[in-house]
Amino acid sequence: MKVLRAKSAGFCWGVERAINLAREEAKAGRKAYADGPLIHNNQMMDALRGEGIREVGDYQSKSKIEVEEQDSEDSVVVVRAHGISPERRQYLKSLDMNFKDATCPDVGIIAGKVRSHAQKGYEVVIFGDPNHPEVIGLLGYAGERGHVVQSKEDLDALPEFKGEVAMVSQSTMFSHEFKELAGCLAKKYPDLMVFDTVCGATKERQSDLQWMVEEGAEVMVVIGGKHSANTKKLAKLAATKGCPTFHIETVDELDEETLKNFEVVGVTAGASTPDFIIDTVCEKLESL
């Protein structure tokens, strides 16, 4: 079987940066606590726990941090790549622990645009998942001027804005969907300020899917956590390319009997998928 591997498959630079920052703290002998799962991949989280990196808090970075007093000595709390709200930042800095910010710089740029425009009096529309930690963090910078939308129906349900309006996107959303919704909103507010904040890594993954189809991929295998938002979106997009699509976490989930019926397979992976899992899957597919 011929395997086409997307060049963008695996860690994006923001996730890799967050992992490296946490590892540096652990190697220095400090107890490293991630505010929620540092990465949305069970296998990688298991590996990080083995390196002394612990997970506290919750997925949405909302719950209190529970750390035994003796464990808080010479410890550090690490902010994930998703970023956090100003209120959460203030809370984490109030703890009797060191503070390390591993927010992806791309997310930091979005937060800056949200904050500056909200402060100028703009209503800020965020295209994204209202339950995703990145969006929860961004809303914190908008104050009462933040509004989250995922669909045309959400746009129609927005209140009537009387002042200026700006629109940004969660970094891992589909570019074409963002452009479509921004176009709809611009019809109502011609002076709409639109900031295309879908990150480069996400756009590369979307482009690589099209490249694999053009190179003859007959079936797609998308690797990543079943709870990983960007991996689920990638699998959804792959399915629109007209190819059967399989979303798996590990090589053990490969449907070998079905895949044997194809000659060319495209392989991609979410931003939280480590190379060692992708390598194993590609090796197995090549052996079929």
Contact 272, 39 (CB under 8 A): yes
Residue 69 is classified by DSSP as H
Gap between the Cα atoms of 163 and 257, Å rounded? 59
The verdict on whether 253 is a catalytic residue reads no
Gap between the Cα atoms of 98 and 221, Å rounded? 41
Bridge partners of 75, per DSSP, are 31
- CA 57 from chain centre, in angstroms, equals 18
Which one from 25, 55, 134, 249 is the annotated catalytic residue? 134
Bridge partners of 5, per DSSP, are 267
Gap between the Cα atoms of 280 and 175, Å rounded? 30
For the chain, the straight-line distance linking the first and the last C-alpha, in angstroms and rounded, comes to: 6
Token couple for 34: 């991630």
Residues labelled as active-site residues? 134
